[in-house]
């Protein structure tokens, strides 16, 4: 009798488990940023690829006095 070992049995998946012998439906095929607080969060990703970019709030209007070239999220306080 072979014991059932649940896991991802698809070798093309990010979370492939070579010790599994029964597919449990957990296979993961999408990589990306999995941090929901990050600027580039990907809600379809199930494997974090270390690509997350922190949210940097600031003025994004290049013509404004307080323009912040490092900002990736407008804070609506441009002067």
How large is the average pLDDT for residues 32-57? 97
pLDDT at 50: 97
* pLDDT tens-digit readout, 61-77: 999 999 999 999 999 99
Q: What is the pTM of this model?
A: 0.69
Q: How confident is the model at residue 1 (pLDDT cuts 50, 70, 90)?
A: confident
The Cα 78–Cα 10 span in angstroms is 51
The Cα 53–Cα 72 span in angstroms is 9
Tokens of 48: 């974090």
């Amino acid at each position: 009798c072979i014991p059932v070992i649940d896991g991802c049995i698809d070798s093309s998946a990010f979370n492939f488990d070579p010790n599994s012998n029964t597919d449990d439906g957990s296979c993961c095929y999408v990589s990306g940023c999995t941090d929901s607080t990050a600027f580039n969060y990907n809600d379809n990703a199930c494997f974090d690829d270390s690509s997350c970019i922190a949210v940097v709030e600031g003025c994004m209007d290049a013509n404004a006095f307080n323009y912040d070239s490092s900002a990736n999220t407008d804070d609506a306080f441009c002067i």
